[in-house]
Amino acid sequence: MPDEEKENIELKAPPEEEEVVAVEEPKEETEIVEPDESSEDEIEIVEPEKTKAKKKEKKEETVEEAAEQVPEEEVYKVKPKPELGADEKHALSLRAVKRGKKPNFRRQEWFRYVRVGESWRKPRGLHSKTRRNYRYRAPKVSKGYRGPKTVRGRHPSGFEDVLIHSPKDLEGLDPKKQAARIGHTVGTRKRIAIKEKADELGIRILNWGGS
């Protein structure tokens, strides 16, 4: 090849590739809006007042409903008491002291055998230490534990306890000294009738509620 053609070939270089530049699209900037302090304060003050007002209204409604549902309380009536003399009052107080010191009488060797039980039985054995009143044995029932004779068998309030089964039995009772006790076999209808009759006569019923 001639020299001219070689020069032409050298001069004709391949065209350079154009660099493609990626143009980034501008992002939309999100504006961060800071809350106003004044608006927050207003919200914190206004909302609780509304809720408190609603709560007060609800409480008032519930209180009114409860007041309507609750029945009126009955007036407490003083229970009738017996007319006692000075000797009887002293005897009752003495009996209370003696009862506080009275032991629990238990059957001989109740702690040894389960089949024996605790209910009192008189010891009859020839060599029984309980029968012979040995101190290291349990106390034995004796007449020294009894209360004063004048108030023996009375209710702790001082009334004489009288068992009744019908309203007619109340007619002969003395409300100043005697009180009624309804028998356990009496039904509810008759019990109510006895209570009404006793209230009319001013007689106390010992086994009615907290009497």
- Answer whether residue 160 is part of any domain: yes
Among 146, 176, 198, identify where a domain stops. 146
Q: Which of 117, 93, 95 is nearest to 106 (CA)?
A: 117
Same domain, residue pair 111 and 166:
no
Q: Which of 159, 108, 150 is nearest to 129 (CA)?
A: 108
- Answer whether residue 30 is part of any domain: no
Structural domain including 122 reads 104-146
Domain count, the chain: 2
Token readout for 192 is 């109510």
Q: For residues 163 and 179, what is the distance between their CA atoms, to the nearest angstrom? A: 9
The residues, any chain, with a CB within 8 Å of residue 113's CB and separated by 6 or more, are none
- Answer whether residue 197 is part of any domain: yes
- Answer whether residue 92 is part of any domain: no
Q: For residues 137 and 59, what is the distance between their CA atoms, to the nearest angstrom? A: 67
Same domain, residue pair 179 and 164:
yes
Does the pTM surpass 0.75? The reply is: no
- Answer whether residue 164 is part of any domain: yes
Among 146, 164, 196, identify where a domain stops. 146
* pLDDT attached to residue 56: 74
Strands 178-182 and 160-164: parallel
pLDDT in tens, 131-178: 999 999 999 999 989 999 999 999 999 999 999 999 999 998 999 999
Same domain, residue pair 164 and 208:
yes
Same domain, residue pair 118 and 156:
no
Same domain, residue pair 129 and 181:
no
pLDDT in tens, 77-93: 788 899 999 999 999 99
- Answer whether residue 9 is part of any domain: no
Mean pLDDT, the chain, rounded, equals 80
